[in-house]
Structure 1
């Protein structure tokens, strides 16, 4: 079942936009599979590793995630290695999690399902 988050578009986020509260994060985490919330250098991020059989497939996935990022105007940290891509979504302007991060994580999951 596809997440309803995939149907949404990222919203413009400003430096005074509110970070998601615990209840909101818990609600949207239910729509994601395999993602975790971690605090890196004091900033909460959504993180997930995607496995591939070789570097070329990992690189193609990275490029397709980059296309999503450009379309949404919301950009992750992407670490591409042999057989693995680690994706970090967070909102730079608010130094934390926003609805946009959950939307992009859901779209990343959809992309991964399409490339299987």
Structure 2
């Protein structure tokens, strides 16, 4: 099953973060995403390019609907011609499998 077809699971504060091995396996499935560390917290980030602000905003709104449906919410920076999306699991202060699932689902919003 592809990541985008998977379902997020409820995540508690004691849920494990992905291991280094899981990170390597999962990031290979979403190659346009970059693992970053912000204030000691591992996150996934991708920048999407658009022709104008209107298209960037439309993408942001679709992403907002997806996030609400999955009850998992990213950081979103919407600017003229681009949207930067950052996924991480706040409850565990790092990356969970859910973040990779949501990154894959975010990519599908372009199709």
Question: Scaled by the length of structure 1, what TM-score is found?
Answer: 0.93
Displacement over 6 Å in runs of 4+? none
Whole-angstrom CA distance in 2 between matches of 1:12 and 1:43: 20
Query: Structure 1: any 5+ residue segments left out of the alignment?
Result: none
Q: Who is 1:13 aligned against?
A: 11
Q: RMSD between aligned alpha carbons? A: 0.9
Quote the offset at 1:34 in angstroms: 1.1
Select 1:27's aligned residue among 25, 28, 36: 25
Q: Which residue of 2 aligns with 1:41?
A: 39
In the TM superposition, residue 33 of structure 1 has moved relative to its aligned partner by: 2.8
Which has the larger displacement, 25-34 or 15-24? Answer: 25-34
Shift of residue 19, structure 1, vs aligned partner = 0.4
Q: How far did residue 43 of structure 1 move?
A: 0.5
2:63 paired residue number: 65
Unaligned runs of 5+ in 2: none
1:87 paired residue number:
85
